[in-house]
Structure 1
Amino acid sequence: MDLAYNTSISHFVLLGLTDLTDLQVFLFVFFLMFYIINLIGNLSIMVITIIDTSLHTPMYYFLWNLSFLDICYSSVAVPKMLSDFLVMEKTISFAGCISQMHFFHFLGSPEVMLLTAMSYDRYVAIGNPLRYSAIMNTRVCWCLSLSSWVTGYFHSLLHTVMAAKLPFCGPNLVKHFFCDIKPLLKLACTDTSLNLKLLTRVTGTLATGTLLLTLLSYVFIIKFLLKIRTVEGRKRAFSTCSAHLTVVFLLYGTAIFTYLRPSTQESLDQDRAAAVLFTVITPALNPIIYTLRNKDMKKGMKKTLSNLILTIRRVLYFL
């Protein structure tokens, strides 16, 4: 992005979560643990879904994309946050701040659209199992994932360009642990009502629209489940949706809470706490949710570990 910045500020200072030194050390260890879980868990899902041919289905294609997004999305903000816990001056350049904001929303937007695609996939699998492979073919999966990436890019580009064109003349203290739209708009030396309206309407339309489509898929899923006569049959059918539904509530709950409320000083403090959930906690919980509540993933993990152990034994034998 080639943007002509209209600002006298060369850098911003991120105030972070706390200025208490002892608490910063604890938070560094705590969040580092979650970030490592995020990387290991999501990379494991990506590797398993590639290696295990039984998982080469649309559902796990979308799950691979979701895991990739979780790693990239979290990595935009968390490494910088971790490093800031260990230094006195928590600065970021103006260009770096705008870039961080762009990539955070570019990688965050496709996630809600992928969750919608996954709900549609579950609807087809449960409601029309005989035509599942024909409906959810490779072309459809590619189109759904590509459209989510493209929409996410242009959604983020709109907010990035609008924010980058604003004049910033001081102060340069960002009350957050990364450069997000709302705390950055608070520092602009001009009226930002248009930016806030776009944030509410465009982001709100994207979030609520995809949420409604996701819930609509589940309305039809429940309709089909009610036709299943046995309780065991219903549980078995819904078990493929439970993990996805859990992730939907975690992500949408924090996103709507953060971006669809009026921007006040109190709300910005609450936004920081909510941001910890969707940048640190949720990406680490997603792989745990999908592995613990998914029999196919458990089998895939056991199979992959068995093959890995067997390979190591063979290598050690020849050595």
Structure 2
Amino acid sequence: MPTELLVLILIVALALAFDFINGFHDTANAVATSIATRALAPLQAVLLAAAFNVLGALSGTAVAKTVGKGIIPPELATHTLVIAALLSAIVWNLITWRYGIPSSSSHALIFSIVGAGIAESGIHAIKWGDGVAKALQGLVFSPFFGFLGAMLLLTLLLWLVANRRPSWVNRFFLRAQVVSAAYMAFSHGSNDAQKTMGIITLALATYYGWSGEQFQVPLWVILSAALAMGIGTAAGGWRIIKTIGFQAVALRPIDGFAAEVAGATVIETASRLGIPLSTTHTISSAILGAGATQRLSSVRWTIAGRIVTAWIVTIPACIALSWLIYTLLHLLTGSR
């Protein structure tokens, strides 16, 4: 078997491994609030998230195209670049999972591509005004809209149920959270799984010599990325579920519903616009927004501070890590 084909197979395997890790790393995005409010048992919540993650992953490819051809031109990419970016993102995901830190798998991958791209072709090869700009827009605006959306939605819901007994409100929103958790899981799949589709297709473009105009995501890539994320989600990411669902803020069923609906709506809108945002950032901010609606003191701001710190550190850490991995691979193999 030709060496180039073996390398391509290795890249696909690494990308699907990243997708699997992304699934269990980000399981908390879809299920933490439902578990915390006891709307769903942990196993029910994780299986529901896995199923709807797969469905969401099959719903489009706009984000995949942004990742695959919007950060570095496909004609400039090499297999060494793709491998370095994937290894960097995987290592960062495992580190943050180990310590229960809800960092962004999306920004880990995107800025790992940036770091490897700089190592390979220099800073001017990066398409700062295209895919990187979209990623930064997602970084800035998704937490803001998640926080604000959850606050506004919860305020409206509390007004609508003001004359209902608390026991009725709790029962109703415990059932409603099954729907909102499914919506959140669907939106997670529609955005996060597409990043893996994008990087696999970037590797295919490198192998076949495609230009940006020829960049299309094959059906088998869509299906394999969807399934890998679904299986990873089913494995569960219990450390981060604990951080988001139980430590950041005390949640009632109505709070969890508002956070999930607001967060999922922000993510779905971004997916249709091809913006690769962080689902972790969005739902974490929505949960904090729902908590702040009750009273500011109900939010455990030390946990929120850990989350924000992880957001800030991810970008430079992944750029540096992928640059280092690319440099080492280049030295070891003597090839680009």
> Normalising by structure 2, what TM-score?
0.27
Using CA pairs under 8 Å that are at least 6 residues apart, name the structure with larger relative contact order, 1 or 2: 2
Q: Which has the higher helix share?
A: 2
